[in-house]
Amino acid sequence: MRLARLSPHDLSDMSDFPLDFTRAYGAPLAEADFRREPEDFVVDEKLAAPLNGEGEHVCVHVRKAGQNTQWLAKQLASFCGVKNRDVGYCGLKDRHALTTQWFSICLPKEAPSDWQVFEKQFPQNCVKVLQHIRHNKKLRPGDHQYNEFIIRVYPNSRDLDNFEKRFNTIKNCGVPNYFGEQRFGIEGGNLIEADELFSSWAPQKRKKMPSIIISAARSYLFNLVLSHRVKHGDWQEVVEGEVVSAGVQSPSGPLWGRGRNLAQMPLLQRETEILDRFNSWREALEHCGLSQERRDLSLLPDNMYYKRDEGLVEFGFRLPPGSYATSVLREFFVLKNSSGARSENSGQRGELNA
């Protein structure tokens, strides 16, 4: 059975899987064109630790435009004569953007000496190897310290009332730490597929589900909890039952998996009620090899600034791994993606992490 089981309130705005999660600071200031050109969305990945210069992995620092991270990883594997699993990276970066990121390739012996040969496989200026260095470990998701963004948007109104006030509020107080809409695929396609899989899934079948579908479902449940907290005004407050992590109690929401929800009463009851209609999802996620985790409800951009010019606003900020620039921008504008695709990667499934 599809999610007709959701209440009319849950379904009031869209389809079975509404994606207009509650905004923290009221209605958007205006609509704005987004991603007219790859250069409008610039992402620079910064590693958490320096590469050590020796080891069986060759790490390449790549600048790419209009290219999918996973696809490019496969091209690197083919060029170097290794298996796809021998190529690692810290996170998926946006396709319709100008991005720099690191890839690691397991090459214990010889490595390519001329990376220009690799670059020539692509249209001019689409892929550029900026540097390469050996390292003793494969790069894995989350190994970077942060992503640095420079993003231009084009508002459809020149009169942006309260822009300065909202900017300062967000700079100082942060935004809800939503998973971005691209996580869920074009028109929420990943969630539709998840519901179809989970509705017919049973533990005894042991059917392996695509990781990106698992991730989308897990993220959606988190966003529903966060949206509820934002609506009730306590998404930045420590309420009774919050989880203590590393001796610190802070607002967080569930990333579903095996084991009990880590929250305590009465927050536990509240989250259970919010997700009550997703029992089949939660049951399936408990058998997907993931454990119960928590994710911060609040996201505070670092080094945030803006510049306003005739017809555009440029934002700059840094975000930690796993967070989304669109979750910051949506508190200012309704974003109209001019790239021609809702998903940040080729195909309909979207991205796994940032």
Q: Report the alpha-carbon distance of residue 351 to residue 354 in Å, rounded.
A: 8
Q: Report the alpha-carbon distance of residue 171 to residue 173 in Å, rounded.
A: 6
3-state per-residue secondary structure call for the chain? CCHHHCCCCCCCCCCCCCCCCCCCCCCCCEEEEECCCHHHEEEEEEECCCCCCCCCEEEEEEEEECCCHHHHHHHHHHHHCCCHHHEEECCCCCCCCEEEEEEEEECCCCCCCCCHHHHCCCCCCCEEEEEEEEECCCCCCCCEEEEEEEEEEEECCCCCCCHHHHHHHHHHHCEECCCCHHHHCHHHHHHHHHHHHHHCCCHHHCCCCCHHHHHHHHHHHHHHHHHHHHHCCCCCCCCCCCCEECCEECCEEEECCECCCCCCCCHHHHHHHHCHHHHHHHHHHCCCCCECEEEECEECCEEEEEEEECCEEEEEEEECCCCCHHHHHCCCEEEEECCCCCCCCCCCCCCCCC
Closest CA to 55 of 145, 132, 113: 132
Q: Which two tokens stand for residue 287?
A: 């058998």
Annotated catalytic residue within 33, 40, 94, 143:
94
The vertex-251 CA angle with 29 and 318, nearest 5°, equals 55
Q: Report the alpha-carbon distance of residue 178 to residue 163 in Å, rounded.
A: 21
Active site (annotated) includes residue 94: yes
Q: Which residues are catalytic?
A: 94
